[in-house]
Amino acid sequence: MKINAYFATSLDGFIARTDGSLDWLPQPEADGEDYGYSHFFNSMDVLVMGRNTYETVLTFGEWPYADKRVFVLSSRKLDMPAFVPQILTQRACSPGELAQELSTQGVEQVYVDGGKTIQSFLRAGLLDEITISIIPVLIGRGIPLFGPLDADVKLQVVESQSFENGIIQNRYMILR
């Protein structure tokens, strides 16, 4: 099983403003370019996200993940408006326990989303690949992309692409 993250960051290393807003991100609809997201998303079997990311998704007012299996990590009861599909599953377990559960089910590709959640999979040594789109904007403060680690993590760039609007996208393999 392979565990992947795909996200955008400001040049100063934030994935959202302090209040969670994403207004500084380019709009794929306006750009006519989705930066490889559909291809990535369609190749994933399961999406795992943290509660904060789930709550941001709820503000969209519609479910953007079609019939993809989604797991939300949270220790608290989740708000589930009517547009959230029944296939959504909540877990309050460690990244290792969830990875074990998914692996036992034969899942091959996992998409992990949310800053703290990605960091916890990284710290547990479970993340295999990260695709980061660096947006050429400084937002000054916000929710950080990365956090404390117990040891250095080495990565290898496997693909690097730049777009006309200045976005640079790197795909990294995590070396173990």
Binding mask 113-152 for ligand NAP (x = CB under 6 A): xxxxx--x----------------------x---------
Enumerate residues 9-68 that contact ligand NAP by CB under 6 A: 15-16, 20, 22, 49-53, 56
Return the DSSP state at 79.
Answer: P
Phi-psi category of residue 106: left, alpha or beta, with phi > 0 → left and psi -120 to 50 → alpha = left
Residue type, 155: L
90 binds ligand NAP (CB under 6 A): no
Report, in Å, the least distance between residue 107 CB and ligand NAP: 17
Residues 90/52/15/49 CA torsion (nearest 10 deg)? 0
Residues pairing with 91 in the sheet: 73
CB atoms within 10 A of CB 127: 24
Report, in Å, the least distance between residue 164 CB and ligand NAP: 20
**Which residues contact ligand NAP by CB under 6 A?**
7-8, 15-16, 20, 22, 49-53, 56, 73-76, 92, 94-95, 113-117, 120, 143
